[in-house]
Amino acid sequence: MVTKVVDLRSDTVTKPSEAMRAAMAAAEVDDDVLGADPTAQRFEAEMARIMGKEAALFVPSGTMGNLVSVLAHCDTRGSEVILGDNSHIHIYENGGIATLGGVHPRTVPNNPDGTMDVDKIVAAIRHRDGAMYYPTTRLICLENTHGNTGGKCLSVEYTDKVGEVAQSHGLKLHIDGARIFNASVALGVPVHRLVRAADSVSVCLSKGLGAPVGSVIVGSKDFIYKAKILRKTLGGGMRQVGILCAAAYVAVRDTVGKLADDHTKAKVLADGLKKIKQFTVDLTSVETNMVFFDIADPHITPDKLCQVLEQRNVLAMPASSKSVRLVTHYQISDSDVQYTLTCIEKAVEEILSGNAKFERLTNGTTTNSYGH
Amino acid sequence: MATKVVDLRSDTVTKPSEAMRAAMAAADVDDDVLGADPTACRFEAEMARIMGKEAALFVPSGTMANLISVLAHCDARGSEVILGDDSHVHVYEHGGISTLGGVHPRTVPNNPDGTMDVDRIVAAIRSTDGALYYPTTRLICLENTHGNSGGKCLTVEYTDKVGEVAKAHGLKLHIDGARIFNASVALGVPVDRLVRAADSVSVCLSKGIGAPVGSVIVGSKAFIQKAKILRKTLGGGMRQVGVLCAAAEVGVRDTLGKLADDHRKAKVLADGLKKIKHFTVDLTSVETNMVFFDMADPRITPAKLCQALKQRSVLAMPTSSKSVRFVVHYQISDGDIQYALTCIEEAVEEILACDAKSERCSTNGTS
């Protein structure tokens, strides 16, 4: 008998629904490189409309979404981009903007709420007088929700403010909006309003929205035209890609409405974790679908906890030497949340009593956090 | 009523079969980045086995497969790769190996048969004495079948010879094998034998094999491990990618056996074209599923011909100011071939008649 695995490692683990599978099987397709795949076109037009931008482009991953965006905005040699020192692009995308794109990163510290101080952003913008020594700043990147700080929402006021800074300095603004819909729902701000100040946004379809593959980039027609060529250059030009777009279409149609529930479940998890005295949880910092908690008891490590949980078919991700991350999604039920809390309580007892048996983590997670 | 379009522009236009669609819908999937998608794993293992290599990696496109392969072999700064001046990697992949990867290309002329002269390859290898001036040659790339020369097959003897040269000089050998199965079938050489000399091969699934998306790279375990990281860096790390691998698996199972038929249909097409006196066709150069033919009559241009054909629902690709290419695939029937030939004859008459009347024929801009 197969026991259900409660996978809280990330919202990327969502598997395609029956409706998505049916849509993929029935998708009307064509060669999207030689011409245009009709399902891809329809989906891209719909995403552009939803996000309030002129055009959109489907790409295989969020990494490519961000890479294409940075390279498109910074297509002149000697460019620099301002971004958070704890941002996904800077930490978890293999430094591709630099190693592949030749773009120099200039980091500004991320605050616990996911923002960067606006005055620090301004201070990081290179002065033209220094052109003999400085690269040229061309772009500012924000991340909303901000993953490493706990799935924190950047408000529309903050985003607009950074947009004004960008505009007044002749810079572009890109939002890594992998989880932008979570932010929109949590803030109660329509997504197109939330990103209005941005020249481009990358949006993941394969995370909380549940599609099997892909992200979408949105921006102006000119930007998307450049992006399309970069996508091909990077090797992201897929042929009958409507297969994937059909599933993504269903995801946007069916799952955006369930995100609020994911946030509720995250709060329930956090409330339950707070009751365990060996952990420290800041309930106010649970804004969307992520829960980070610190382990206060030195006898318990994130690795040990995750290993023991795995024995009970609950998967979680160590986030640092002292913390663990749980991410909820629509394929986690309320009873899964309760089951998880029970397992965590038992795991803690087991570890403290010395009865736990530790096996190497088999679910592909290691002691390093991936930041997915 | 929708007329069937006979699409001979490329074998990339193949649409997923019913069996593929069913396989995609039913695929057993998981997060291939956080862990491993079971369908992707199974498919990659099978492709490695078929190609006679240790490991394999599924990627979104042939362009990414070649880009990853070159970058993985040439991961030291200051690297150079030897490749054909008329190769797909050099001509049609945006120079990505250089613009993104910082790898310098050194081209050697491609012969009409798709090969490069071995002595010219050797001559292009940088001497280590010149290290103060020269980049370091690390890789040789072959393309089999060779697209721009007409879908030509590189023999196993030639491939082995280039492999020996590579080995003798401490270089790696990568084969852009987008249509390697076509070569294997046409030559009657098992595909694993054909690529034995290569350190890596890129194989397209979305061309003649008919899958909707993707290619696969094969090579040693160590190479594929590097390739996996490069794939993620380029943005090719897809999550529940088994949906695509399921279709590719069906493609390999169901369509390989149909490639020989594609070659036969290409020959029928070429024979028919030869009968039209306004065209020049070299029948001996039709080795696989591609037919290139030249316009012998200046009144007929590739653009005009393709437009006139398009009006008859036959799609083809102009390849130069004087030539047109047809590519055959399993979704082109024998009846479609005959229909295409009839349309071509009609198109030629129409263009010549138009020209004779000195009227402006309608132009809607094919290039």
Give the model's pLDDT for residue B301: 96
pLDDT at B136 over 50: yes
Residues A221 and A96 in one domain: yes
Q: A26 and A115: one domain?
A: yes
B65 touching chain A per CB within 8 A: yes
Q: Are residues A140 and A237 in the same domain?
A: yes
DSSP A340-370: HHHHHHHHHHHHHHT--------SS--SS--
B69 inside 8 A of chain A by CB: no
**Pairing state of beta strands B79-84 and A55-59?**
unpaired
Pairing outcome for strands B200-204 and B215-219: antiparallel
- Binned at pLDDT 50, 70 and 90, residue A53 comes out as very high
Question: Would the CB atoms of B15 and A94 count as touching at under 8 Å?
Answer: no
**Nearest-neighbour CA in chain A from B359: distance (Å):** 31
Residue A213 DSSP code: S
Residue A247's CB is within 10 A of a number of other CB atoms, namely: 31
Report the C-alpha gap between B135 and B122 in whole angstroms: 15
Residue A272 reports pLDDT greater than 70: yes
Rounded to the nearest integer, the mean pLDDT of chain A is 95
Q: How far is A63 from chain B (nearest CA, A)?
A: 5
In a domain, A148, yes or no: yes
Q: How far is A79 from chain B (nearest CA, A)?
A: 15
Q: Which CATH superfamily is domain B258-359 in?
A: Aspartate Aminotransferase, domain 1 (3.90.1150.10)
Residue B284 has pLDDT above 80, yes or no: yes
Contact assignment for A243 to B229 by CB distance below 8 Å: no
CATH number, domain at A66? 3.40.640.10
In this model, does residue A2 exceed pLDDT 70? no
DSSP string, B78-146: TEEEEEETT-HHHHSSTTHHHHTT-PEEEEEPPPTTS---HHHHHHHSPPGGGTTTSPEEEEEEEESSB
Cβ within 8 Å of A, B 30-59: 30-31, 33-36, 59
Do residue A149 and residue A169 come from a single domain?
yes
Reduced to 3 states, what is the DSSP secondary structure of residue B357? coil
Question: Which among A15, A68, A236 has CB closest to B61?
Answer: A236
Binary contact (A244, B16; C-beta < 8 A): no
**Cβ-Cβ contacts under 8 Å, B63 against chain A:** 232-233, 235, 237
**Least CA distance to B206: which residue of chain A?**
A239
pLDDT over 60 (residue A370): no
Domain extent for A68: 15-254
Which of A65, A237, A243 faces B212 most closely, judged by CB atoms? Answer: A243
Q: A184-193, B2-11, B142-151: which has the minimum mean pLDDT?
A: B2-11
Together in a domain, A88 and A168: yes
How far is B318 from B324, CA to CA, in rounded Å? 4
pLDDT, average across residues B265-278: 97
Separation of alpha carbons B166 and B138, rounded Å:
9
**A230: nearest CA partner in chain B:** B94
Cβ distance B239 to A234 less than 8 Å, yes or no, reads no
Nearest CA distance, B347 vs chain A (angstrom): 23
pLDDT of residue B363 exceeding 80: no
Cβ(B87)–Cβ(B62) under 8 Å? Answer: no
Domain check: are A201 and A119 in the same one?
yes
Tell how strand A279-280 and strand A290-295 pair up.
antiparallel
What is the arithmetic mean of pLDDT over A59-72? 98
Distance CA A247, CA A260 (A): 21
Q: Which residues of B touch A25 (CB under 8 A)?
A: 21-22, 24-25
Mean pLDDT of B95-110: 96
What is the spatial distance between Cα B244 and Cα B81, in angstroms, rounded to a whole number? 31
Residue of A nearest to B96 (CA): A233
Contact B212 A241 (CB under 8 A): yes
The residue-averaged pLDDT of B103-131 equals: 96
Facing residue for B61 by CB, picked from A93, A235, A364: A235
When pLDDT is averaged across residues B275-282 and rounded to a whole number, the result is 95
Asked if B250 reaches chain A (Cβ–Cβ under 8 Å), the answer is no
Residues A299 and A322 occupy one common structural domain: yes
CATH number at residue A348: 3.90.1150.10
Q: Is the pLDDT of residue B1 over 60?
A: no
Task: Note whether B29 contacts A212, CB cutoff 8 Å.
Answer: yes
Does B298 reach chain A within 8 Å, measured CB to CB?
A: no
A16-44 mean pLDDT: 97
Query: Is B16 at the interface with chain A, CB within 8 A?
Result: yes
Q: Has residue A6 got a pLDDT over 90?
A: yes
> Residue B333: its pLDDT value, please?
97
- Interface touch A60/B235, C-beta < 8 Å: yes
Q: Are A242 and A40 in contact (CB under 8 A)?
A: yes
Question: Is A1 part of any domain?
Answer: no
**What is the DSSP code string of A96-128?**
HHHHTT-PEEEEEPPPTTS---HHHHHHHSPPG
- 85-144 of B, contacting A, C-beta below 8 A: 93-94, 96, 99-101
Q: Is residue A213 part of a domain?
A: yes
Query: In angstroms, rounded to a whole number, what is the distance separating the alpha carbons of residues A200 and A198?
Result: 5
pLDDT digits (tens, 9 = 90+) for B249-262: 999 999 999 999 99
Helix (H, G, I), strand (E, B) or coil at A71: helix
Whole-number pLDDT of residue A366: 45
Structure tokens, B130: 């010149």
Are residue A178 and residue A318 in the same domain, yes or no? no
What is this model's ipTM? Answer: 0.88
**CA of B332 vs chain A CAs: smallest distance (Å):** 15
What stretches of B167-236 adopt beta strand conformation (E)?
172-177, 200-204, 215-219
Contacts of B130 (CB under 8 A, 6+ apart): none
Inter-chain contact A238–B10, Cβ cutoff 8 Å?
no
Residue A263 lies in a domain: yes
Enter the pTM of the model.
0.92
- Which residues of chain B have a CB within 8 Å of the CB of A22? 25
User: Can you list the alpha helix ranges (DSSP code H) found in chain A?
Assistant: 18-26, 38-51, 62-73, 88-92, 96-99, 118-124, 156-168, 180-187, 191-194, 221-234, 242-255, 259-274, 302-311, 334-353
pLDDT in tens, A284-301: 999 999 999 999 999 999
- Report the distance separating Cα A74 and Cα A72, nearest Å: 5
Instruction: Find the closest chain B residue to A372 by CA distance.
Output: B34
Interchain contact, B243 vs A30, CB within 8 Å: no
Instruction: Report pLDDT digits (tens) over A297-330.
Output: 999 999 999 999 999 999 999 999 999 999 999 9
pLDDT of res. B357: 80
CA dihedral (B136, B200, B175, B125) in degrees, to 10, reads: 20
| Token output for A29 | 């397709």
* Level-2 CATH architecture, domain B18-255: 3-Layer(aba) Sandwich (3.40)
The predicted structure's pLDDT at residue B328: 98
Contacts of B304 (CB under 8 A, 6+ apart): B351, B361, B363
Facing residue for B12 by CB, picked from A34, A64, A94: A34
The count of structural domains within chain A is: 2
In sequence order, what are the residues at sequence separation of 6 or more whose Cβ sits closer than 8 angstroms to the Cβ of residue B14? B206, B207, B208, B209, B210, B329, B330, B331
Q: Is the pLDDT score of B361 beyond 60?
A: no
**How far does B96 lie from chain A, in Å, by closest CA?**
6
In the predicted structure, residue B196 carries a pLDDT above the cut 50: yes
Q: Where are the domains of chain B?
A: 18-255, 258-359
Identify all chain A residues contacting B61, using CB atoms and an 8 Å cutoff: 235-239
Q: Which residues contact B353 (CB under 8 A, 6 or more apart)?
A: none
Whether A254 and A103 have beta carbons less than 8 Å apart is answered as: no
Q: Domain for residue A343, yes or no?
A: yes
- E strand or H helix that includes residue A318: strand A317-318
Q: Are residues A200 and A265 in the same domain?
A: no
> Is B91 in contact with B148 (CB distance < 8 Å)?
yes
Residue A371 lies in a domain: no
A41-46 own/partner pairs: CB under 8 Å, 24+ apart = A42/A245, A42/A249, A43/A216, A43/A242, A43/A245, A43/A246, A43/A248, A43/A249, A44/A216, A44/A245, A46/A249, A46/A252
B229 alpha carbon, distance to own chain's centre = 24
Give chain B positions within 8 Å (CB) of A240: 15-16, 206, 212-213
pLDDT at A362: 57
Is-contact A71 A97, C-beta < 8 A? yes
Whether A364 is covered by a domain: the verdict is no
Predicted pLDDT of residue B367: 40
Average pLDDT for chain B: 95
Question: What pLDDT, on a 0 to 100 scale, did the predictor assign at position B3?
Answer: 72
Could you tell me which residues are beta bridge partners of residue B173?
B140
| Domain annotation covers residue A369 | no
